[in-house]
């Protein structure tokens, strides 16, 4: 069946959450947001493109940092209101220079840092 980016269920701001996962290791790297146009651009260009809520503009991941996300596979969930992109991530995905944004665990009530910034 043909895919139509407009058929996804977007929130009141016109956005859908997109989870980025390393296609090779399975590591969950980050979560950000896409609007319908970002979905189309991601699929057409093969470069993962989000909508930046803080800057209110398209955000081609890695455009300024060089830490690009090349799309490997694009998936939609059962309710069509969440996306999973598996990617080839160059360098760190997180703005703190860590590989993943999920570098803090909560264990026995305490925050534990799981990874250091990349060199």
CA distance 29 to 47: 15
Coil, strand, or helix at residue 6? helix
Shortest Å, Cβ 8 to a copy of itself? 10
- Is residue 36 close enough to count as binding a copy of itself by CB under 8 A? no
- Is residue 66 close enough to count as binding a copy of itself by CB under 8 A? no
Pick from 19, 36, 60, 90: which binds a copy of itself (CB under 8 A)?
A: 19
CA distance 114 to 4: 39
Query: With helix as H, strand as E and coil as C, how does 29-69 read?
Result: EEEEEECHHHHHHHHHHCECEEEECCCCEEEECCCCCCCCE
22 a known binding residue? no
Q: 47 forms bridges with which residues in the sheet? A: 70
Shortest Å, Cβ 24 to a copy of itself? 10
- Is residue 55 close enough to count as binding a copy of itself by CB under 8 A? no
Question: Would you tell me which residues interact with a copy of itself (CB under 8 A)?
Answer: 1-3, 17, 19, 21, 25-28, 30-31, 43, 73-79, 82, 84, 94-96, 98, 101-107, 109-111, 114
């Amino acid at each position: 069946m043909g895919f139509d980016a407009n058929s996804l269920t977007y929130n009141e701001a016109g956005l859908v959450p997109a989870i980025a996962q390393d296609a090779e290791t399975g590591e969950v790297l980050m979560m950000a947001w896409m609007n319908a146009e970002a979905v189309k651009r991601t699929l057409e260009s093969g470069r993962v493109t989000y909508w930046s809520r803080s800057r209110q503009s398209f955000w081609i991941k890695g455009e300024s940092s060089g830490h690009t996300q090349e799309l490997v596979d694009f998936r939609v969930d059962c309710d069509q209101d969440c996306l999973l992109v598996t990617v080839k991530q160059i360098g760190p995905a997180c703005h703190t220079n860590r590989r993943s944004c999920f570098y803090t665990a909560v264990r026995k009530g305490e925050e534990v840092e799981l990874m250091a910034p990349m060199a």
